[in-house]
Amino acid sequence: MRFIYVIFLFLTFSHCLFPQDKIKIMTYNVENLFDNKDDSLYNDREYLYGGSRGWTYERYRQKLYNISKVIVASGEWEPPALIGLCEIENYNVLYELTHKTGLKNLDYRIVHYESPDARGVDVGLLYLPDKFRLINSRPISVQLPNTVVTTRDILYASGKLTNGDTLHVFVNHFPSRLGGELESEERRVAAAGRLRNACDSLFAISNAAKIVIVGDFNDMPDNHSIRITLDANPLPNDGKVTNNNLYNLTYKLHKQSNIGSYRHRDQWNMLDQIIVSGALLSNESKTTVLEDKVRVFAPDWLLEDDKIVGKRPFRTYIGMRYNNGYSDHLPVLVDLILK
């Protein structure tokens, strides 16, 4: 009886003896978050006043409000500590998102670099400095084969977590499928190869490097760029992982026909993914991914009726028609436990 009482006391107070923190990581393609200011270096004419989309300052402000609402709601009681954003125009839209909406009291910091994308579309990272202390960041350029077309850089950032671990983060927006999936595949393979080389450089320093890869890959988890070139594996059934292998947490969601982050025609697709190194899946690690907590954030207000069947993301534009929604993609999140 005394033994049972001791066990009860241990379980009751173990959270004090071995404190844990939890942080959320989010990836979100926000569908052309453009301001309405002319940037002479890029082709942003369709989002200027009088442009083909009828974009106005009021619509831009509404878009900022919509995205901030998604971020706050997705965190439930705890806002995401790290947010990888795709399809943002520049530093200014990230600044106004974090300083001129309901996010202003959360103290998000920004990592952003201008990419050579012809339309001026970039990726960015928002982070909470009390959860992730930035150490280093840089853009990683991607050279596309057999073309003069340019694409988005990969954004790399590293930082210290509250438990002392260093986390390496890559934010990606791979080349689109414009011109056809097979015809454009080599471009996404090139981006995946560049990303793989960057990961291998980290593994060469430490085979237990803790890596999180997020973004819109414009490919599915079992397409060549992700499964072969990047070598991001499904989670093994036996739970045995290798520290310096990459594992695609969203692979299992991809295999469910009624779940996805993007809807094309009448099918859900898992274009937005979260991939981690095996070191984040080890029970011995101080920082561990809750793999069963990877999820697509899809409340009713982020969806609208699909003309064909079911639901689709409540997007800002349908073709060239303003729809006053949020994005054509849904956010994807995962939780990390910090021991």
Mean pLDDT of 208-220: 98
Q: Can you list the positions of beta strands (E) in the chain?
A: 21-33, 82-88, 109-112, 122-127, 132-140, 154-161, 166-173, 210-216, 232-233, 246-248, 262-264, 267-269, 272-277, 287-296, 303-305, 311-313, 317-318, 321-322, 332-338
Burial of 178 (0-12, 13-18, 19+ CB in 10 A): exposed
Model pLDDT for residues 29-75, shown as the tens digit of each residue:
999 999 888 675 566 777 777 788 899 999 999 999 999 999 999 98
According to the model, what pLDDT value does residue 266 have?
84
Identify the residue with better confidence: 296 or 284: 296
Examine the pLDDT at 225 and tell me if it is beyond 70. Answer: yes
pLDDT above 60 for 88 = yes
- 3-class state of residue 162 by DSSP: coil
Mean pLDDT over residues 201-208, rounded?
A: 97
- pTM score of the predicted model: 0.92
Domains present along the chain, CATH in parentheses: 17-338 (3.60.10.10)
Q: What is the mean pLDDT of residues 335-339?
A: 94
Residue in 156, 165, 160, 234 with CA at minimum distance from that of residue 198: 156
What pLDDT, on the 0 to 100 scale, is given for residue 15? 40
Scan for tokens 């150490």, then name that residue: 135
What's the pLDDT band for 284 if we cut at 50, 70, 90? confident
Q: What are the pLDDT digits (tens) for 253-270?
A: 998 878 999 998 889 999
d(C-alpha 331, C-alpha 296), whole Å:
6
